[in-house]
Chains A and B, each alone.
Chain A
Amino acid sequence: MVDLSVKIGDITLQNPVQPASGAFSWEYNDVIDLNRLGALVAKTICREPRLGNPTPRMAETEAGIIQSIGLPGKGIDYFIAHIVPEYAKFTPPLVVSVSSETIEDFAALAEELSVPDVDVIEANISCPTRNSTGGNFAMHEDYTRDCIKAIRAKTKKPLWVKLSPNAGDIVSIAKAAEAAGADALVIANTFLSLKIRTDNFRPALGNKFGGLVSPALKPIVLRMVYQVAKQVKIPIIGIGGVTKAEDVVEYMLAGASAVGIGYAGFRNPTALISIIDDLAAWCDERGITKVTELIGAVRDQDMETDTLAAASVGV
C-alpha cells in the first residue's frame, strides 16, 4: 500500500487531498468521514460579522459556475469560540483562512487566530471581487510582500498564502510571498468573471462580478503551479479543477505537494474520499511506494518530440 503522506513545512498531511476554503465546512461530516482528509480547511473568516453579497450568488455558464458569496460569516470571536471547536473534533490539521481589507487588521487577525486548535493560517490575499489595495493584495508584488511581512511578524503558526490567478505575473508575486516569510503557497483562487443575462440584460449575479470555477481552468492553474515551483523552495498546494485522482497526480508532477478541491465536492459530495482511494489505487498499480515521489517529477527534460521540427520547445 502506497504511503500517501506529504509534508507541508512542519505539518504532515496523511494524504495530499484537502478541501478548498469556502467550498467546505465541518457539516460535510454528514456525508463523508472527515478524519480521512489530508487537512480541514475552514471558510475564510473576517473580523466583523458579515452578511455577504446579494443573491443570486451563483450562476451556471457553458464551462463552469461563477459565484460571488462575499465572505459571509459571524466574525472572528464567534469563529474562535464556536467554529474552531467543531473542527477540533476531527483529527486532520485545521487550516484557517483569513481575509481583511487592511494590512494592519490582517496581521492582527492572524495573531488572534493563533490559538492551539488552529494548525495553519491561510492568508486569503486573493479574494477576486476585492480590490488590490483592499484584500486582493495578491494582484501586486509589493502589496503581497507588505501584507505577508506584517502577518509573519504576528504569528508563529505555519503561514500559507493563497495567490490570485488574476495577477499578471504570478511568479514574482509567489517569490515576494516566499521572501516575506510564507511557509507554503496555495495556487490559486478563482478567476474574476462576469455573466450577463440576455433575457433581461442584467448581470446574472447579485454582486455583478464573480469567480469562475471550472475543471476547464485546471490547465491554466497547472501551468502557474509549474512555473512557480521552478522558482520557489516552499511547498505548493494546487487548487483548481481537480475532479479525479489523475488530476492530483498531474498537480504533483507539476510541483505541488498537495491539492485543494472545491467544485468536485459540489458535484459529488463523496468525491474527496473517492479521489483519495483512487489515488492510492493509481499508485499501487504502478508500484509507487511514496506519493511524494510524484512531486515535481514531470519529465520536461526528456520529452519525446519530433527531432525534425524546427521550432524549439517553449518554457
Chain B
Amino acid sequence: MTLDPNHNYSNAALRIGDVDRYPRRRVGEFIGIVASNAGVNDEYRHIVVKVHEQALKAYAGQMFHLLCPSPDGAEVWMRRPMSVYRVDKAAGAVEFLYKIEGRGTRGMGKLQPGDEFNIAGPLGAGFKLEPAWKNIVVLGRGVGLATLAPLSQLAAEQGVGVTAILSARHQGVVMSKALFEELGARTVTVLDSDGTSAVENVERVIEELIAARKADAFFTCGSNRLLKLTQRLGKKHNIPGQVAMEQIMVCGFGACYVCMRTFEVDGKRVLRRVCREGPVFNMQEAVGW
C-alpha cells in the first residue's frame, strides 16, 4: 500500500505485534499507542506509550527520537530527542517525562490515550555502572532528572546505593522524588526559593557524602552549574563521573553531525556527537555549555 501524501508514517515502521523483517536491528522506528499523557505538576508531563517489544531494550541514559504531532496544523519538521524515563516491560511500554518548551512538545502534550505516536530508538550510549562503585551520587535539575531517574533503577538492580540531589526552583516543581525513593534512593531536595540550591550549599552536601564514603561516582544532567561543581569536586577527590548532554539533533543515528558538543581529551578540544558517542559522556571531558 502506498502512503497517503499527508501521512507522517513509514510503511516499514513497526506496530505492536508486528513480525520484524529485520530482526538484526538495534534500533527501530515504532508506531506506539499512547496509554496515558498527563501533567505531573505545573511544568512537567508524563507520557506512557505502548510499543513493539523491540523498543523495550532501552536502558538508562538512552533516548528515543519522537515524531511529535503538530500543535497548530503546520509541519513539525524534525523529531525531538527525549530520554527514556522508564521502561515497563510488563506493560510493554516506554515512558517519558517532558516539559513543554515549544511546538514539538506542545504537540506532544495534546496526544490522547489511544493516539498513535511514532518513536525511533533506543538511541545512543547511556549510563554505565562500574562494579567497583557501591554508592553513587545523582544530581539533576529540571527535566534533567527525567534522564537520571532510570539510573536509580539500574543501581537498585545491581545493589548500588543512590543519593539523589534534586534541584528545582521551588517545591512545586521538584521532579521524580517519589520515583527515586520508591527505588530505594535517599533524596536531598535543594531549592532556589529557600536558597538551598546555591552552589556553596550543594558543595557542602556533596562533601559530606564524600566524607561518609557515599560518593564513588557522580551522575548529572540538566545544569551547567552542577556539572562544573561535580567536575571540580571530582578532580579534587579523584571521583569519576558521567554527564548526559543535550544538543539540537537531526538524524539521531550519527550520520548528520548536527548534535555536536565540545570535549577536552588529553588537552585537545574535540567534537563528539550527542546522539552516538553520547548522550552520556565522561564528566571530566565535558566542556559544558
When distances are taken between beta carbons in the complex, the residues of chain A under 8 Å from B260 are: 52, 55, 57, 72
B248 and chain A: residue at smallest CB distance = A56
B5 and chain A: residue at smallest CB distance = A244
Interface membership of A315, Cβ < 8 A: no
Complex Cα gap A212–B161 (Å)? 50
Which of A21-29, A94-102, A134-142, A302-310 is found at the contact surface with chain B?
A21-29
When distances are taken between beta carbons in the complex, the residues of chain B under 8 Å from A282 are: 2
Contact A245 B258 (CB under 8 A): no
Contact A28 B11 (CB under 8 A): no
Most chain A beta-carbon neighbours within 10 Å: one of B29, B250, B255: B255
Interface membership of A9, Cβ < 8 A: no
Q: How far is the CB of A199 from chain B (nearest CB, A)?
A: 12
Interface membership of A67, Cβ < 8 A: yes
Contact with B along A62-94 (1 / 0, CB 8 A): 111101010010000000000000000000000
Contact B118 A266 (CB under 8 A): no
Interface residues on B, range: 35 or more
Contact B248 A270 (CB under 8 A): no
Contact A270 B271 (CB under 8 A): no
The residues in A between 270 and 313 inclusive whose CB is less than 8 angstroms from any CB of B are 270-271, 273-274, 277-278, 281-282
Q: How far is the CB of B124 from chain A (nearest CB, A)?
A: 11
Q: How far is the CB of B82 from chain A (nearest CB, A)?
A: 16
Contact B255 A52 (CB under 8 A): no
Contact B255 A23 (CB under 8 A): yes
Interface membership of B133, Cβ < 8 A: no
B103 and chain A: residue at smallest CB distance = A60
Which of A30-38, A160-168, A178-186 is found at the contact surface with chain B?
A30-38
Contact of B9 among A24, A31, A55, A268 (CB under 8 A): A268
Contact A246 B271 (CB under 8 A): no
Interface membership of B178, Cβ < 8 A: no
A268 and chain B: residue at smallest CB distance = B10
* Number of A-B pairs, beta carbon distance below 8 Å: 129
The residues in B between 1 and 39 inclusive whose CB is less than 8 angstroms from any CB of A are 1-3, 5, 8-13, 22, 24-29
Contact B257 A57 (CB under 8 A): yes
User: How many residues from A make CB contacts under 8 Å with B?
Assistant: 43
Contact A31 B120 (CB under 8 A): yes
Contact of B258 among A25, A58, A271 (CB under 8 A): A58
Q: Could you jot down 21 A-B contacts, CB within 8 Å? A: A22-B255, A23-B255, A27-B276, A31-B26, A33-B24, A58-B248, A58-B250, A58-B258, A72-B257, A266-B78, A266-B79, A266-B251, A267-B77, A268-B9, A269-B65, A269-B251, A269-B253, A270-B10, A273-B10, A274-B12, A278-B11
Residues on A lying within 8 angstroms of B by beta carbon are: 22-25, 27-28, 30-33, 43, 51-52, 55-58, 60-65, 67, 69, 72, 214, 244-246, 265-271, 273-274, 277-278, 281-282
Residues on B lying within 8 angstroms of A by beta carbon are: 1-3, 5, 8-13, 22, 24-29, 65, 67, 74-79, 118, 120, 247-248, 250-258, 260, 271, 276
